[in-house]
Structure 1
């Protein structure tokens, strides 16, 4: 029982060495599919069905990533990101215009009634 109390295990200790070279850095970042943002755009901000299109491209990007096609996943993810940006900008602009018109209508009706 000289191997830590485990029976059937050899008394050999294995070590793993990692060599890190200064100045060289390899980053293999997987492409982003922006699925959460696309879901938000689809449910809450879907002007001109841009949220739906972004969700479709996000799902395509995730499928390409699972298959191992990094370039295809990066392309679909970039398209989904662009569609999400457009949907968010249009929705926020529309919401702000709605708030401004609502305030102006209430101010005008309040001044004529008083």
Structure 2
């Protein structure tokens, strides 16, 4: 068996640089992509290949929700504005701008939530007013019939 020893820090063995400077140099070289250790003089230049991997991150554009709010819960045109932002989000997604698509989708989601909540509160309030109005009207009619003796 041949036991050859290789030094991890070649400059530290020769004494030309301190250990701290060697570590600093190697760290900076590794951060910049410079190969560590001695580079042979007769080697060909290193080539690198960059592969762009398209992320399959699906950005929800909330088009269906916006369309529903536009048709049924369109308080102060918030549903329509949400629909416009949803379409912009879908356009950005088709172009490949994921950040822009997420931004438009987030705005559409907030507008949809506001439109839905306000419209539901108004609908519930209208139903409550209608019900209490009907009760008050029935009480008034019954009091009128009691006071007039049925005439």
Verify same fold: TM over 0.5. Answer: yes
> Aligned ranges for residues 22-37 of structure 1 at < 5 Å?
28-37=56-65
The two structures, once aligned, show a CA RMSD in angstroms of 1.0
Q: Deviations over 1:49-102 (max 9, x none)?
A: 100100000000000000000000000000000000000001000000000000
Corresponding residue for residue 118 of structure 2: 90
Corresponding residue for residue 131 of structure 2: 103
Is 1:71 the counterpart of 2:104? The answer is no
- TM-score, normalised via structure 1 length: 0.75
The Cα shift of 1:28 comes to 3.7
Structure with greater Cα Rg: 2
User: How far, CA to CA, are the matches of 1:79 and 1:33 in structure 2?
Assistant: 10
Choose between structure 1 and 2 for higher RCO, CA contacts under 8 A separated by at least 6 residues.
1
- TM-score, normalised via structure 2 length: 0.57
- Three-state SS of the structure 1 residue aligned to 2:57 is coil
Decide which of 14, 19, 39 is 2:67's aligned counterpart: 39
User: How far, CA to CA, are the matches of 2:128 and 2:121 in structure 1?
Assistant: 11
Q: Which runs of 4+ in 1 moved over 3 A?
A: none
The Cα shift of 1:29 comes to 2.4
Structure 2, unaligned stretches of length 5 or more?
A: 1-54, 143-151
Is 1:53 the counterpart of 2:59? The answer is no
Count of aligned positions: 88
